[in-house]
Structure 1
Amino acid sequence: MDTKPAISALAALAQESRLAAFRLLVQAGPAGLPASKIAEALAIPPSSLSFHLKELSHAGLVVPRQDGRFVIYSANFDTMNALLAFLTESCCGGNPCTPVVQTTCGAAVSGI
């Protein structure tokens, strides 16, 4: 990941509601959640949630897909992992540090 996409992703996550939505989608795994369930779980009005999900989508952190009348959002684990790799690229002076572990949903996350 280059610097500009990393800044975009970090900026999108630097807001309480967007961070909560992203974390909820990471917990939901690749299946994702409908927007209505995200709004309900986070007690965010649908109009506000729509704005926050759009920001996360523009940063490449979430992916929307149409499922009938519903829009299902899921975390983009490739972007999440690229951001983690970017942030830890020079960790520990280039020496091996905390290993990356596999989560139950198949996304690698740092063990920090």
Structure 2
Amino acid sequence: MPDYNALINFLLKPLLRHPDALRVDFESSKSDRIWVRVAFAPEDRGIVFGKGGRTVQAIRTVVMATAQEAGQNVRFEVFDPTPNVDRDEHQAPPTEIGDRPRIQVEKPKRRGVIQ
């Protein structure tokens, strides 16, 4: 059986600003199905997920390829230990689906035409 804890520490710790907050939990079943749950500091969320989720998808691919080589099935999940902390206090949540916060932008001044 692969050492998933060492693999995930190897892949994630260099990315994190707070590597001591990294938690890796495992759960396995009798049918070689393994659930790997990872938790880290909320400040590191953007770094771990990457642009468009590419970084976390690459980590998931490496973990799944390692499991496939060992003849196992793995489900890799990111666990958020504080689900309500990442919301800004000064920004109210949207009340309806189409209701987004609006940003006030000053319109540019129109320049006169030089002839």
Same structural fold, with TM-score higher than 0.5 when normalized by the shorter chain: no
Greater percentage in helix? 1
When normalised by structure 2's length, the TM-score is 0.28
Q: TM-score, normalised by structure 1?
A: 0.28
Q: Rg: which structure is higher?
A: 2
